[in-house]
Amino acid sequence: MLSGKNIFFNRWFLPATYVLLALFISIRGYYAPGKDMTGFEGKVTAYNNYVIFSNSFFHLIDGKNLYAQYPTEQYDVFKYSPTFALFFAPLSFLPHGVGLALWNLLNALVFLYALKQLKLPLLRELGFGVLAIPEIFTTTTNSQSNLLIAGLLILAYVYLERGKILLPILLISLTVFIKMFGILFFALVLLYPQRLKAIPAGAAVMLGLFILPLPFGGWDRLIQHYRDYFGLIAGDHGFFVKYSVMGWLESWFGWQPDKNYVVLAGLIIQCVPLLFWSKFLEPFFSSVYASSWLIWLVIFNHMAESATFIIAVAGVFLWYFSVPERKPWQIALLVLVMLFTCLGPSDIYPKALRILIVENWQLKVFPCILVWSICIFQLLNKNIRNTFFSAQTPAAP
Angle (nearest 5°) at CA 297 between 296 and 299: 60
Q: What percent of the chain has pLDDT over 90?
A: 71
- Mean pLDDT of the residues in the chain: 89
**What confidence tens digit (pLDDT) does each residue in 128-143 have?**
999 999 999 999 999 9
* Distance (Å) of CA 310 to CA 96, 136, 193, 333, 346: 24, 6, 30, 17, 14
Confidence of residue 278 (pLDDT cuts 50, 70, 90): low
**What confidence tens digit (pLDDT) does each residue in 58-84 have?**
999 999 999 999 988 888 899 999 999
| Mean of pLDDT values over 86-102 | 97
Cα–Cα distance for residue pair 47/53, rounded to 1 Å: 10
| Mean of pLDDT values over 351-355 | 92
**What confidence tens digit (pLDDT) does each residue in 160-213 have?**
999 999 999 999 999 999 999 999 999 999 888 888 888 899 999 999 999 999
What is the rounded (10 degree) CA torsion for 369, 365, 323, 285?
-40
pLDDT of residue 396: 46
Name the phi and psi angles at 10, rounded to 5.
-60, -35
pLDDT of residue 388: 47
Helical (H) or strand (E) element with 43: strand 43-44
The answer for residues whose C-beta is within 8 angstroms of residue 115's C-beta and 6 or more apart is 14, 125, 128, 129, 151, 154
Q: Is 256's pLDDT higher than 80?
A: yes
Q: What percent of the chain has pLDDT over 70?
A: 89
Q: Is 228's pLDDT higher than 50?
A: yes
Q: What share of the chain is helix, strand, coil (3-state, %, to 5)?
A: 70, 0, 30
| Mean of pLDDT values over 279-290 | 77
Angle between helices 146-161 and 283-299 (to 10 degrees): 160
393 versus 310: the higher-pLDDT residue is 310
Q: Is 3's pLDDT higher than 70?
A: no
pLDDT of residue 116: 96
pLDDT of residue 216: 93
Q: How many residues would you count in the chain?
A: 397
Cα–Cα distance for residue pair 185/174, rounded to 1 Å: 12
pLDDT of residue 289: 93
Q: Is the pTM of this model over 0.85?
A: yes
The answer for residues whose C-beta is within 8 angstroms of residue 32's C-beta and 6 or more apart is 45, 46
DSSP letter for each residue of 247-274 = HHHHHHH-----HHHHHHHHHHHHHGGG
pLDDT of residue 220: 95
